[in-house]
Amino acid sequence: MGHQKHAMHASKDCDKRRPSCLNCGRARRTCPGYEPSKDLKFINYVGEDNLNVLRQPPSESMHRAASFNLSGTLDWSDVEQDARLVFFNDYCIVSSNRSLSRGYLHGLQSMIAKADPNSELVQACTLIALANLGNKLGNTMYRHRAEGLYSLLLRSFRLSISNEAVFTTVESLITAALMGLYEIITSTGTYTGAHVAHAQGISAILISKFSPFDLLCDGKLFQIASSVPLEGLDVEIYTRPSLRNSPAVVTKASQKFSLMCTPLFNQSSSAIDFIYARTISLMLRAEPLLESETEATLDQLCQLRFEAEQLREAYTTWPDTVPPAWTPKWLGTISSKNSETLPDVGYWPATISCYYDLYVASLWNNYRKAALLVLNVILRCHYRINGRFSDQIFEASIQKDVEKLTEGIISSVPYLLTADLQIFVANAATGSPPIIPGRPLGGLLSMHTLFVLSTLSTTEEKLKNYIRNCLAWIGTRMGISQATVLSKYTSMNQFKC
């Protein structure tokens, strides 16, 4: 679905208020401000009004939502509208330069504005918005309504995407991502593996026989919590409409497309996607070999180490390929105040770094996390092959890389979690007052990296405890329940079961 913005003619028939205006939408005609073209790629237009909404803290929406119960009246349409505004502010990044950052759920607000209120896409956005707002306000009524909507949507979504007679579009992919995000926000420790089971269920729906999406790619990169690009998808025009008020499209996802997409800076993004695919393949083979003390042969261990060393070299050189705008910027240093006590969240002694945006920060941390996993495989292979005979020079080189990658992750924590980094830097120079939570998206994008770091044998025990405190803080202060669950686990195997 291509859109080209033209000057909208003044007319009583067109209200000029939305990317596809309400009057034109109700009349089921193409808005004169837009022109469908099969020669163009899918582009979500975000008007200046929408941008302003995303930039501004939704204080009025929060206040109204919090006061509904106090007034004794509850209009769910108003509550849901305010909840969506809060959600857009908390979880969406509108990228001003798509060649540098895809943002996060970029274009979602304009999609919701144009969609049929009864569509699965709007339902998915509404239920996660209610869950998010319910967590922020401690409102069980909002959370219970979200649970009911989720149960209904899960059934209808499974039918709509698995039936070849039902028309499916890119909206189905975004719906699935929002449902996965809902699971992350509401995940509890009621029984081990609950979230994983639900995520696998969503994944099974998306890769069903009649699904239009190729989400496995080369390295099974389908990850619901990752950024969802709404541009750069190859699409073709179809005659039947997917949404009541919008032109129809059929999405044809390419072999390179997955939810683990990097920005459009070709030299860097294509390289890291390929490295990630090889890393996942390595980890799938390494786990059974290294967990068993007897099954792995010497040849298998040597081959595994050789492949891991190749990946280590690839990860070492990747930072040299990134655009200058991606380079982390140093803002200050947190000095050690008391080595006996555990620092408060955000105040681990390290440098303080800032990034182009939250998405680019998460891209760096995903890179660091993957590189640390590879180094961990190399070290474990080394010990299994050499036994009690050590190689101090080799082990020191591994440790140096581990420390650099670990510090990079820890130095990004203030940027990802605090509401105002400049105030945090000033406070860090004089004391360590509790940090004010920033947008929950920062916690969402950092929690899996922090969790993996807390489980690695190369991470010192005190730092592991600090990271678990950070995860618990993300869960309680940012309303992301899965972070609370992760804070209680000490190994990745616990989360997989």
Looking at every residue in the chain, the average pLDDT score rounds to 76
Please report the pLDDT score of residue 229 as a whole number. 38
- CA–CA separation, 163 and 210 (whole Å): 6
Please report the pLDDT score of residue 211 as a whole number. 55
Please report the pLDDT score of residue 33 as a whole number. 45
Please report the pLDDT score of residue 148 as a whole number. 95
Q: In 10 A of CB 232, how many CB atoms?
A: 16
Please report the pLDDT score of residue 176 as a whole number. 86
**Paired tokens of 54:** 């995303």
Here the contacts of 45-49 (C-beta below 8 Å, separation 24 or greater) are: 45/3, 45/5, 45/19, 45/107, 45/110, 46/19, 46/94, 46/106, 46/107, 46/109, 46/110, 47/18, 47/19, 47/110, 49/17
Domain boundaries, the chain: 22-251, 266-496
Element (H, E) at 428: helix 421-430
Please report the pLDDT score of residue 303 as a whole number. 96
* Integer angstrom CA distances of residue 138 from 57, 83, 130, 396: 19, 14, 11, 49
Please report the pLDDT score of residue 171 as a whole number. 81
Please report the pLDDT score of residue 73 as a whole number. 61
CA 95 to chain centre: 15
Please report the pLDDT score of residue 237 as a whole number. 27
- CA–CA separation, 68 and 79 (whole Å): 8
- CA–CA separation, 236 and 2 (whole Å): 10
Q: What are phi and psi of 7, to 5 degrees?
A: -65, 125
Residue 320 has what DSSP assignment? G
Question: Model pTM?
Answer: 0.75
Residue 324 burial class via C-beta count within 10 angstroms: exposed 0-12, middle 13-18, buried 19 and up: exposed
Residues of the chain with pLDDT under 70: 1-73, 163-169, 189-270, 388, 494-497
For CA atoms 136, 137, 138, 142, the dihedral sign is negative
